[in-house]
Amino acid sequence: MEEIILLKQGEMVLKGLNRRGFEEKLMGNAKRRLKRYGAFKVYTRQSTTYVEPQDGGADLEGAWEAITKLFGAVGVCRARACPKEKDAIVACAVEYLGDKLRAARSFKVESKRADKTFPMTSIQLSQYVGGELHDRFPHLTADMHAPELTVHVEVRDFDAYVHADPEPGAGGLPVGMGGRALSLLSGGIDSPVASWMIAKRGVIVDMIHYHSYPYTSLEAKEKVLQLARLLVPYTGKQCVHVVPFTKIQEELRRSCPEELFTILMRRFMMRIACRVAEKNGIQALVTGESVGQVASQTLDALACTDAVCTVPVLRPVVGMDKEEIVRIARKIGTFDTSILPYEDCCTVFTPKHPRTKPKLEELEAAEAVLDVEAMTAEAVEGIERIVLDL
Ligand code: ATP
Ligand code: MG
């Protein structure tokens, strides 16, 4: 009989009265991701969401891959359906979990009954299936407390299901429950990770990228779009705002002290992002900054960039070492693209001796010679929007 996918809900089960909303969002997000893999039925019972293929044409491998990236599920597993009859359940466990049963040293059987008309109690069913499996796999010892393998049996309305322990899911909360943020996405390692971390908390994440053509190549922009695309299976649909940034950089280089260039540039990035946020009902910005990583990420420098912001700035990797960030980048699949050798707009104009302890007054003095409002407005006006979808 057919195989299905089960999702165990995470912390959303603690949401009390809001829980129904979280479940609906999780199921809606699952359905959108599954569409391209064929016809699936998605429903939730007792904190478990079930994904059932509706016909032989459904691509279960593809669906499994997509579901492992779905925020809101702490655990995911595949289960095999069988008739609701005790010996059919044993036969299903032997066939479906045979390899695991052979490899394990200890096991137990855990049963759940949604169908209360089933003629055995959960305990009787566990004992029966456990006894039969033990006869067939005599090397196993029964261990009720810390078994290597738990054989789960669920007796539901139409079928019974057999599965092993769930694997870790993507965790977090369903995207869409936590508002909307705008992530400053560069071509580096950190900002894709930061974007992923905020999406994991249930936030819809749009991207903004500052492009310095012709100082940076079109390949550099394509690389950033590729990073954004790699995040879509996690974030769902997102809008990438591509900002023409060259004129601002040229103006800063012409008119401002070189050692303040980076931080002045970052203030412009923030101003533009805040403008986009306000126009689109976006509640926060996200960056991949980490304290002390570079001159513009000292506490003094961060305070100077925050000073121009009109919405909160979330910095999820702020306390992480590069190695920790790299580990996540590898896990989510962005690392290999991030390290492709394309220049980004920060490296093109980097001063030789950037100030690590800028003072707000000197930045404001440097900006006094500029028409900050007109420069910001022109950049916002020139934004190209690219929508990426599942
Ligand atoms: P990353 O690895 O994410 O590029 P980084 O260590 O290179 O970060 P910076 O270049 O100083 O650090 O940038 C800090 C943060 O500013 C980035 O994480 C990103 O959020 C944002 N940022 C930098 N450059 C750009 C850009 N061209 N477009 C959009 N955001 C940018
Ligand atoms: Mg960078």
pLDDT digits (tens, 9 = 90+) for 272-318: 999 999 999 999 999 999 998 877 888 999 999 999 999 999 999 99
Q: What is the pLDDT of residue 345?
A: 58
Same domain membership, residue 283 and residue 153 = no
Instruction: Work out the number of other CB atoms within 10 angstroms of the CB of residue 317.
Output: 23
Nearest residue CA, atom 23 of ligand 1? 186
* 190 touches ligand 1 (CB under 6 Å): yes
Query: Of 148, 168, 188, which closes a domain?
Result: 168
Residue reference for tokens 């603690």: 14
Same domain membership, residue 317 and residue 234 = yes
As for how many domains the chain has, the answer is 2
* 350 touches ligand 1 (CB under 6 Å): no
- Please say if the pLDDT value at position 346 is more than 60: no
Same domain membership, residue 187 and residue 108 = no
pLDDT digits (tens, 9 = 90+) for 151-210: 999 998 889 999 999 999 999 999 999 999 999 999 999 999 999 999 999 999 999 999
Residue partners of 268: CB distance under 8 A and separation at least 6: 245, 248, 252, 372, 375, 376, 379
How far apart are the CA of 341 and the centre of ligand 2, in A? Answer: 12
Counting ligands in written order, the one closest to the CA of 227 is: 1
Same domain membership, residue 346 and residue 205 = yes
Nearest residue CA, atom 2 of ligand 1? 188
Please state, in angstroms and rounded to a whole number, the distance separating the CA atoms of residues 317 and 330: 15
Structural domain contains residue 175: no
Structural domain contains residue 367: yes
* 346 touches ligand 1 (CB under 6 Å): yes
Instruction: Work out the number of other CB atoms within 10 angstroms of the CB of residue 162.
Output: 24
* 315 touches ligand 1 (CB under 6 Å): no
Pure H helices in 236-344: 246-255, 261-279, 299-306, 322-332, 335-338
Structural domain contains residue 188: yes
Same domain membership, residue 275 and residue 328 = yes
- Please say if the pLDDT value at position 37 is more than 90: yes
Instruction: Work out the number of other CB atoms within 10 angstroms of the CB of residue 389.
Output: 9
* 296 touches ligand 1 (CB under 6 Å): yes
* 72 touches ligand 1 (CB under 6 Å): no
Please state, in angstroms and rounded to a whole number, the distance separating the CA atoms of residues 227 and 225: 5
State whether residue 249 is helix, strand or coil. Answer: helix
Structural domain contains residue 173: no
Structural domain contains residue 93: yes
Same domain membership, residue 337 and residue 235 = yes
For residue 33, what are the CA distances in angstroms to 56, 331, 336? 18, 20, 24
Same domain membership, residue 151 and residue 186 = no
Nearest residue CA, atom 18 of ligand 1? 288
Q: What is the pLDDT of residue 388?
A: 98
* 223 touches ligand 1 (CB under 6 Å): no
pLDDT digits (tens, 9 = 90+) for 59-70: 999 999 999 999
Structural domain contains residue 336: yes
Please compute the mean of the pLDDT values over residues 5-17 and round it to a whole number. 80
Same domain membership, residue 118 and residue 185 = no
Cα 63–207–75 angle (5° rounding)?
30
Nearest residue CA, atom 25 of ligand 1? 186
Cα 133–135–98 angle (5° rounding)?
40
Same domain membership, residue 88 and residue 144 = yes
Counting ligands in written order, the one closest to the CA of 189 is: 1
How far apart are the CA of 297 and the centre of ligand 2, in A? Answer: 11
Radius of gyration of the chain (CA): 26
How would residue 351 be classed by pLDDT, with cut points 50, 70 and 90?
confident
Query: Of 168, 202, 228, which closes a domain?
Result: 168
How far apart are the CA of 182 and the centre of ligand 1, in A? Answer: 13
CA 382 to chain CA centroid, nearest Å:
29
Instruction: Work out the number of other CB atoms within 10 angstroms of the CB of residue 23.
Output: 20
* 126 touches ligand 1 (CB under 6 Å): no
* 191 touches ligand 1 (CB under 6 Å): yes
- Report whether the peptide linkage leading into residue 358 is cis, meaning its omega lies within 30 degrees of zero: no
* 186 touches ligand 1 (CB under 6 Å): yes
Same domain membership, residue 86 and residue 18 = yes
CA 266 to chain CA centroid, nearest Å:
26
Please compute the mean of the pLDDT values over residues 214-221 and round it to a whole number. 89
Same domain membership, residue 343 and residue 232 = yes
Which of 226, 227, 267 lies closest to 245 in space, CA to CA?
Answer: 267
Most informative mutation of 183, 189, 190, 339 for ligand 1 (most atoms within 8 A of CB): 190
Structural domain contains residue 191: yes
- CATH value at residue 158: 3.30.2130.30
Q: Kindly give the pairing relationship between strand 238-244 and strand 149-155.
A: unpaired
Counting ligands in written order, the one closest to the CA of 269 is: 1
Q: What is the pLDDT of residue 344?
A: 66
Helix 360-367 vs helix 299-306: angle between axes, to the nearest 10 degrees? 50
Residues 204 and 169: beta-carbon distance below 8 Å:
no
Query: Of 168, 199, 229, which closes a domain?
Result: 168
- Please say if the pLDDT value at position 342 is more than 80: no
- CATH value at residue 371: 3.40.50.620
Same domain membership, residue 159 and residue 195 = no
Nearest residue CA, atom 21 of ligand 1? 184
Structural domain contains residue 233: yes
State whether residue 136 is helix, strand or coil. Answer: helix
Range of the domain at 56: 3-168
Counting ligands in written order, the one closest to the CA of 293 is: 1
